[in-house]
Amino acid sequence: MVEAKRPGMIPVSLTEIAQVTYGRMLKQATAIHDRDNTDVLVHSVVTDSRQAQDGSLFVAIPGEHVDGHDFIETAAKQGACGALVDHIVEHVSLPQVVVNDTVKALGLLAAHNLERRRALPTPFEVVGITGSVGKTTTKDLLAAMLRELGPTVAPIGSFNNEIGLPLTALRVNESTRFLVAEMGASQVGDLAYLTSIVPLDIAVELKVGVAHLGVFGSVDRIAQAKSELITGLLPGGISVLNADDERVAAMDKLAPGRVLWFGLADGSRPQQQLDMSASNIRTDDADHPSFQLLAAGESAVDSKLNISGVHNVVNALAAATVAHELGLSTEQISQVLSDVGFVSPHRMAISHVDVEDVEFTLIDDSFNANPDSMKAGLTALSTWGNAEDKTQDSTYRIAVLGGMLELGEQTLALHRDVGAYCAQLNVDALVAVGGRRGELSVMAQAMVEGAQVQVGGEAGNSAALALFQAADTDEADQIVRKLASEHPGSVVLLKGSHFSGLCNLAERWQGKRFGVTR
């Protein structure tokens, strides 16, 4: 066989790919190799033609606005050695594997890659993580821990759906020791499908919240969907459950094997009842939590997170429970937690911004939002700096919030709740951001209304909380710059759904930032 370059997945021929995806091989001579190259070994799989390289299989996925089938020749010029398609594409130089559905075929190929890895004699474990909030941060922390034990594959960002998860699984090769899989669900059945592609040795359940409530219809249906992670465990697999969430705790009845518990120690539940717990939680001026980390039967270890937000203690506990089970000591876990100063983009990323002589600290948590994560972000903002002694606290806190999608009939009520919650905290200004999508402006108005009811003031005039409704991110930018110029030492939280465009505002500001992310 002809060997391609840069390894990624376990190498596989195009002929075998056609077999495992139930496809039909269309053989063509290529301009690159000038031969029938169906036996060339594929080393990587891409869905973006710009990422193709020597030895890549390009998977053509039809999208709402762009069809991957139009970019096969681009992938060929980048070095791809074959294409996975749902119909024959004429006048291209790559061999084509024709299947009924390229997304389903991508899943079949990923499952085949993992089956081949499990067939090898060296140890290999797969950990799956789900929850309404905290998946990506937990994944990032766990991956950093497991890299202390062996080669670990984990997605960058939130590759957690029927496309992103297989692409991550297709980075597993003969040397991979651990695969950390983030798994998201927007309807019942999603996790059942994902775990059929990537069967789990360990399943981590973080929280059942109200994300995608409009799609699911009820929190109970969300719990049902999340529980599919547990039923997707391999026989005897380990369930890692959040003892502080009653709906997660109830999933122990579905566990096919051992259950490990993590949670916060309080008066109602002694630490000894938890496999991994945290106590004596406190935060510094930059909202980095410190706490005592305790594994059952061991001595407590003083620990500190190098990422902000007290809500991330629970995410750290979930990761620590898995890493400890797989062989990492609590001392090693504590060291990793203090070292990891980064998470995936736009998730509680702290930076210093200097825009046209206006300076402020940015808490960029703008990747996405739901009511639970929104309140967690606001709590982190409110505790930034010397929040306990307000007489000595000169920090000016600005919450820039966008709309939250897929909440159904409760959309406006939940946005009013967020506005009211903001008004209850140690926050000085709320900038609610609308957008081109009309519903985003309605959501922004609801947040302002909720805050107004709480403080009894008018927009921009409340002594307790300055309220602003921005038509779009450009107006929000100007409001923030004005507030920050008037209040040196300001801290700004960006939080909203992806469609709110706040990620773009963060990147606009960070293009002129200095310093490093902590």
For the annotated binding site for ATP, the residues are 131-137
**Residue 194 burial (10 A CB sphere; 0-12, 13-18, 19+):** buried
CB 177 within 8 A of CB 146: yes
Residues 6+ apart with CB under 8 A from 182: 128, 129, 130, 135, 136, 139, 154, 155, 158, 159, 160, 165
Using only C-alpha atoms, what is the Rg of the chain? 24
Pairing of strands 490-495, 276-283: unpaired
- Tokens 């709309």 appear where? 403
3-state secondary structure of 221: helix
Q: Which residue in 209, 276, 219 sits closest to 243, CA to CA?
A: 276
DSSP output for 93-107: SS-EEE-S-HHHHHH
Q: How many CA atoms, within 13 angstroms, populate the side-chain half-sphere of residue 308?
A: 29
350 Cα distance to chain centroid: 17
Give the Å distances, CA to CA, from 286 to 335, 344, 363, 387, 465: 19, 19, 10, 11, 22
CA atoms within 13 A on the CB side of 231: 15
Give Cβ neighbours of residue 287 (< 8 Å, ≥ 6 apart).
308, 309, 310, 380, 383, 384
Show binding-site residues: 131-137
